[in-house]
Every structure is written in structure tokens, then in C-alpha cells.
Amino acid sequence: MENNNGPISTDLLIIGSGPGGHEAALRASQLGLDVTLAELNKYGGVCVHSGCMPSKALIGATSLAYSMSHAENMGITSSHSIDFTQMNSWKDGVVSQLERQIEKMCRAKKINLLQGAITFLTTTSARLTPPSPHSPRDISFKHAIIATGSRPTELSGFEFDSNNIISSKTALSLKSIPEKLVIVGAGYIGMELSALFAKLGSHVDVIELQHKILPNYEDDISKLVQKHSEHLGINFHFEESVSSWSKSKSRITITTTTPTGDTHDYSCDKIIVAVGRTPVTETLDLDAISLKPDLHGFIPVDNQCRTSISNIFAIGDVAGPPMLAHKASMEGKIAAEAISNKNVISHNASVPSVVFTTPEIGTVGLTKLQAEEEGLDVSIGKVPYSALGRAHLTNEPIGFIRIVSEASTGSVLGGQIVGPSASELIAEIGLAIQSKSTTTDLANTIHAHPTFSELIATAARIASNR
């Protein structure tokens, strides 16, 4: 046992308590390791406090209000108002509850929870600098897991000031709804925030350097979401780069430049910069252990999440894309099991990606183009939501599901879904990839009726020429 002021000795030091860190801690504790979990800020990390949870809470609330006000064809006429203060209070209550649950689970597993910054001293020792007035403490460890996550990326000339130029984190804690909003970046974070604030009543302009929204997604997905976003009143401005901004007494003006040199001005109350996320490593003093991030700031790891130093692991956003909470959780368990000498490896092929736009997007595995680039003969099964009874029953016949399979074997290679409940449905295709199932297996699985999941069976039948 260690006292509250002296040095600490532990089997496993985990730095960061986000989805990866606390999952690693819980699994390692189950496996009999003495675990110390250090957190710089609040337990739960970005996901709980300024990412997944608060954003989906607000998206869910505003989507409910939007659905209520767009159901006249179902005989529902609703007049409602949004109490943004109460909505934020509810959201903050959910976040606090989740933080308490994580802390409670960790303490129940006898995990030693510490608050403060961790810097490495050697490959088997580190220093904890807790909040003032507490004194630093040295920690000796057999293994360490770096789970420090990421932060919103800043643009030169558009550094975050928490008032005019704000990050996604600040956007989720605004006290009032901006009348006019400019969002820089039409990736998944920018698109989720644009729909959220459009449903709250903001006038939203989205500026994107490339020629379409969601540049990493296939065109038919991007175009469908863009069309629905435009129905929400969102204005898109493509192939424009932000060059400067200024503030008057009443408004902010942001200036953009086109490839031909033309300039455009947009006025707003707030500018949200959502151009990606940057891994957090600068707090760790990696030079002390000669651990070098790559050119993008990520820590290279093998398929067990082990760094170039055999007893030090890295998981989640800091270990590289895809930068997803559930990928971090999976890697946390893998790292804990590898430390316990279990023969495990990560399976990134079946890691799903979901975007809570309107409609939702869920993807996993390979696209048609990616499979063909690997030299595979591909068979596709694609079905629109409009072919499904359940979609009409819920007044949401928008979107499609696509299954990508190998033509000769029927092996499921990937899937793309855009439409209601896509975030839930994609798991079945992920399971098919993970378990090496075929389209015949999916087609022969009886799906309840009437449900959205019937689309998966139908797409599988088309892909298997049935």
C-alpha cells in the first residue's frame, strides 16, 4: 500500500481516463494487475466531457424537437419552444452521471485513481504533478499505457479564444444559441455541429476547402447528407479557404479565398473551427524515454498497441486513426491483455465509423473502390430505405444500405449505411466481417419484421444474387 504523499509502485500506469484508458484499467484489474490510472482533467476524458456524450445529448434533443415539428403528414401538429438553458442543464447532468459511473467502477475494482499531469522520467518511472497545493509524486511501474487522446486542431490566424473563434468543445458549452454561425470544416464534426445548430434555429454557413462535405466518404453518401442538410437551411461554400477575420461591435466577419483568388465575406456571431483533431503528447516528455511520434504527432504502435519500447503501450487517438472512442476501448482491452501475456491482436477491419448527421451514417470495412484496389472481384448489394415498410412507418424513407462482398466466396468485406438507425445497424455488418461470415449467412438469418434490420438481409440477398 502507498500513502497519499509518498512514491507509488504499480504494475501498470495508465495515463488518461478516456474510453481507452478506463477500459484498459478495468480489464487489467480483472486480469490481476495492480493498476494506477492518472487523469489530468476529468474522469472519462474528451468523450464524456466535450465529445461523444455532450454532442449526442444535444443532437438527440434537437432531433426530437425537429421530428415533432415535421410530422404534419402523420397528423401531428406541434408547437414547441426550446429552453436552451434547461437543455444544457440536462446535458450537463448526463455528463456528470457518466463521470461518476466511471469513477465508481474504477474504485470498485481497486484501481488507484490519481489527478494530475504525468511526465516520464525513465522507461519504468514517471512523475505525477497534481493540482496545487499537492506535491509531485514519483511512480515506478512495470508497464505503462499512454491514452492521452487528442484536442481540436487550430488554424493559423484562427487560434481559439473561447469567445469569437471557438472549438467543438466550446461550441457544446455555449450558454446561448448564436443567431449566425460560420463553421470551418465539413468533416464529421463540422457536419454534426451544423445540423445541431441549424435545428436550434441558427443561420449556418459551412466553409469547406474541398469540393464536397464529408470528404472521406463516398459521393452518394456525401450528396445525400448534403441535400438533407440544405433542407435544414445550412449553406455550403466549397473550395474556399479561410484567410482572415475581424470583429466589429455587432458581428464577426470572416474572409475566404477561392482557388482563382476571389474573396468572400461572411458575417456571424461565432466561428467554429472543426478541421480535425491533434494527438496530445506534449505533456509526457517523450524525449526522456526516446519515444518519437511520427510526422503527424501520433505514436507508432504494433498490432498489440505496443510502442518501440516493449513495456510501454499507446492506445486511442494518440496512437493514430481512426480516432474513435470505440476503437480506443478495443485497444485498451488489447493492451491490457497483451501486458498479461495473452495472444491478442487488434482488428481494425471491423471497427465501425458512425456520424450523427441527419440522416445518420454508419460504415465498416472496405468500400467498393478499396476492395477493387486490393484486387478483389466485388459483388454489391444496395437497397434504398424507401423499399422498407418500417422506414415509411417512422416517416423516414431516406437513405440506403450497401453491402460489399467478395463475388467468388460471398465473404462480407464492408458496408455503408446512410439513414435512420445507421449507427445501430452497422454493428451487424461489423460482426459479419469479424466472424468471416458470408452474404448467404446474412440472407439466411431471420430478421424481425417490420424493422430497419431487414434491409441488411435484403442487401445480402442482392449481393449473393439471390
For residue range 346-388, what is the model confidence (pLDDT) as tens digits?
A: 877 789 999 999 999 999 999 999 999 999 999 999 999 999 9
Cell of residue 326, nine digits: 470505440
Task: Say whether both 242 and 309 belong to one domain.
Answer: no
Parent domain of 201: 165-275
Q: Are residues 229 and 118 in the same domain?
A: no
Domain with 256 in it: what CATH number? 3.50.50.60
211 is catalytic: no
- Show which of 304, 326, 348 is a domain's final residue: 348
Task: Quote the distance between the C-alpha of residue 152 and its chain's center.
Answer: 12
Burial 226-255 (b: 16+ CB within 10 A, else e): bebbeeeebebeeebebeebeeeeeebebe
In a domain, 178, yes or no: yes
pTM: predicted TM-score of the whole model, two decimal places: 0.94
Confirm whether 160 is domain-assigned. Answer: no
Residue 366: strand, helix, or coil: coil
CA-to-CA distance for 315 and 318, rounded, in angstroms? 6
12 and 125 assigned to the same domain: yes
Q: Are residues 390 and 247 in the same domain?
A: no
Q: Is residue 25 part of a domain?
A: yes
Q: Which of 295, 325, 348 is the last residue of a domain?
A: 348
Q: Where are the alpha helices (DSSP H) in 215-255?
A: 219-231
201 and 225 part of one domain: yes
Q: Is residue 1 part of a domain?
A: no
Residue 343 and residue 395 in one domain: no
Pick from 348, 374, 394: which residue ends a domain? 348
Kind of pairing between the strands at 150-152 and 137-146: unpaired
Q: Are 339 and 30 in contact (CB under 8 A)?
A: no
Tell me whether residue 156 is in a domain: no
Q: How do 35-39 and 150-152 pair as beta strands?
A: unpaired
pLDDT at 4 (0 to 100): 64
One domain, residues 394 and 314: no
Upstream peptide bond of 130 is cis (omega within 30 degrees of 0) = no
Q: What is the number of domains present in the chain?
A: 3
pLDDT the model gives residue 2: 39
- Check whether residue 12 and residue 91 sit in a common domain: yes
pLDDT in tens, 390-426: 999 999 999 999 999 999 999 999 999 999 999 999 9
Cell 473563434 belongs to which residue? Answer: 165
Both 263 and 310 in one domain: the answer is no
SS3 label, residue 231? helix
How far is 57 from 308, CA to CA, in rounded Å? 39
Q: Do residues 351 and 322 lie in contact, with contact meaning Cβ atoms separated by under 8 Å?
A: yes
> What three-state secondary structure class fits 379?
strand
Within this chain, do residues 145 and 12 fall inside the same structural domain, yes or no? yes
Which pLDDT belongs to residue 465? 86
- Give yes or no for a contact between 401 and 414, defined as CB atoms under 8 angstroms apart: no
pLDDT number for residue 294: 96
Q: Are residues 329 and 309 in the same domain?
A: yes
In a domain, 2, yes or no: no
On whether both 282 and 267 belong to a single domain, the answer is: no
Q: Which residues contact 57 (CB under 8 A, 6 or more apart)?
A: 90, 91, 94, 95
Per-residue model confidence as pLDDT tens for the chain (466 residues): 334 678 999 999 999 999 999 999 999 999 999 999 999 999 999 999 999 999 999 999 999 999 888 888 999 887 888 999 999 999 999 999 999 999 999 999 999 999 999 999 999 999 999 998 889 999 999 999 999 999 999 999 999 999 999 999 999 999 999 999 999 999 999 999 999 999 999 999 999 999 999 999 999 999 999 999 999 999 999 999 999 999 998 899 999 999 999 999 999 999 999 999 999 999 999 999 999 999 999 999 999 999 999 999 999 999 999 999 999 999 999 999 999 999 998 877 789 999 999 999 999 999 999 999 999 999 999 999 999 999 999 999 999 999 999 999 999 999 999 999 999 999 999 999 999 999 999 999 999 999 999 999 999 999 998 7
* 219 within some domain: yes
The model's pLDDT over 137-151, given as tens digits with 9 standing for 90+, comes to: 999 999 999 999 999
